[in-house]
Structure 1
Amino acid sequence: MDIDGFWALIERSERETDTKRERVAWLEEHLFGLSVEEIVDFDVFWTIATNRACSWDMYALYRHMLSSYSSDGFEYFVNWLVGLGREAFETIADCPDRAVEVPQVRHVLELQRSAFNGSRRRREVWTEEEYPEFELLGYVTQDPYKRAAGENAISRGQAVVARGVEGKFPWFSFHTEPDGEGWDFEDRAEMVRRLPRTARWYGMA
């Protein structure tokens, strides 16, 4: 499997299904038909993609969208971004501040805005399907890899590392930090400087 094949599977899984659980099941079914080497390929490209999105500016975007500092939640947010497909993901990964320009992100932001009246929440912001986190998408190779590699094989993570790729998630467990320079997300002026489009969306600029 090459990088194009990886993204083709990610994008087709979205087109062929209606819910997150159906999407995971669709991917698992297709991964079960691959060799162990191809499954590890998928994991390698997944790891490269999520590593690319593990930055302090991306964490700031997550913080302001979901009002959370959760490191687990940040990982699941990045999973959701990968699930948006190649074009959307690469736009945001290269510049987290461009997220407000991506239609799928804009949609959830508009739902968020419509759910609030001033500081008072009128209704639930997002349904489960709309919620911008996708934990299960990060586990789709787990069972296919076990079946293809056998119970006594090295772990998926070890197989990826053996290819020369090390994951940054979960960064709180791996004693690593997101890329870039950390900053105070409550500093309004710094938010405007680093993420001006996001700051404007939230009325900070």
Structure 2
Amino acid sequence: MTDEAFWQLIGRAVEQPGDRDERAEWVTEELTRLPVAGVVEFARRLAVVCGAADTWTMWAAARVVADGCSAEGFRSFQLWLLTLGRAVFERAVVDPDSLAEVAQVRALAARPMREWSDQDWPEWESLDFAAHEAHQEVTGEEFGLERLGLAVAASRPGADAWDIADEDEVAVRLPRLSALFADRHATA
């Protein structure tokens, strides 16, 4: 599966009716139509693409948008970023503060979190399991992708660690995003 084919599949998934879980099921079904190598390649590309967003500054951005974010929640946030499209995703990887310009993020900032529906939350956890379910369905092998080193795992940013809970540091590194969500922190 090429990079282009990966992003096309994600784009088509986002256009499907239903909620995120139903869209992930659609991805699973689409993957079962591929040869086993295609399913494995999708899982690898997903890991690589999400790995590009596995930075401390992106985790800080997730914390700003979602008002906190665990390691598991950060992985779900990275998967949600895919729903914003390739151009937005790639720009956010380079500059997480650019999320302040994204309509979906601005819409979240405009409403109190208590008013967010389940589908508003910036997460898409179920996508992480699509390739695993497809691989098992196609091969009949449980944990096949895990044996290939493609286990579902929480994000763990590596180098350049900084205190993403330090609001002053976050405001310096993510000024536009921090300003966009400043009202939430002022009323909390």
Superposition TM-score, scaled by structure 1 size: 0.79
Structure 2 counterpart of 1:24: 24
Structure 1 counterpart of 2:146: 157
1:4-15 equivalent positions in 2, closer than 5 A: 4-15=4-15
Deviation at 1:195, TM superposition (A): 1.0
Deviation at 1:191, TM superposition (A): 2.0
Structure 2 counterpart of 1:80: 80
1:82-101 equivalent positions in 2, closer than 5 A: 82-101=82-101
Paired AA for residue 30 in structure 2:
H
Deviation at 1:98, TM superposition (A): 0.6
1:27-106 equivalent positions in 2, closer than 5 A: 27-106=27-106
Which consecutive residues of structure 2, in runs of 5 or more, have no partner in the other structure? Answer: none
Paired AA for residue 178 in structure 2:
A
Structure 1 counterpart of 2:176: 197
Between the aligned partners of 2:117 and 2:103, the Cα distance in structure 1 is 18
Report how many residues are paired. Answer: 183
Between the aligned partners of 1:6 and 1:90, the Cα distance in structure 2 is 14
Which consecutive residues of structure 1, in runs of 5 or more, have no partner in the other structure? Answer: 117-123, 172-176
8 Å CA contact 1:6, 1:42 repeated in 2: yes
What is the SS of the residue equivalent to 1:145?
helix
Point out 4+ residue stretches in structure 1 off by more than 3 angstroms: 166-169, 185-189
Deviation at 1:83, TM superposition (A): 2.5
Paired AA for residue 151 in structure 1:
E
Structure 1 counterpart of 2:124: 134
What is the SS of the residue equivalent to 2:115?
coil
8 Å CA contact 1:51, 1:167 repeated in 2: no
Structure 1 counterpart of 2:154: 170
Paired AA for residue 41 in structure 2:
D
Paired AA for residue 179 in structure 2:
R
Q: Deviations over 1:50-105 (max 9, x none)?
A: 10111100111111222224111111111111232212211211211111112222
8 Å CA contact 2:75, 2:154 repeated in 1: yes
8 Å CA contact 1:51, 1:169 repeated in 2: no
More helix by share: 2
Deviation at 1:150, TM superposition (A): 3.3
Distance 1:180 1:198, change over 3 A: farther
Paired AA for residue 146 in structure 1:
Q
Between the aligned partners of 1:198 and 1:60, the Cα distance in structure 2 is 10
Structure 2 counterpart of 1:109: 109
Between the aligned partners of 1:33 and 1:196, the Cα distance in structure 2 is 45
Structural RMSD (CA): 2.3
Paired AA for residue 181 in structure 1:
D
Distance 1:169 1:94, change over 3 A: farther
What is the SS of the residue equivalent to 1:141?
helix
Between the aligned partners of 2:57 and 2:174, the Cα distance in structure 1 is 8
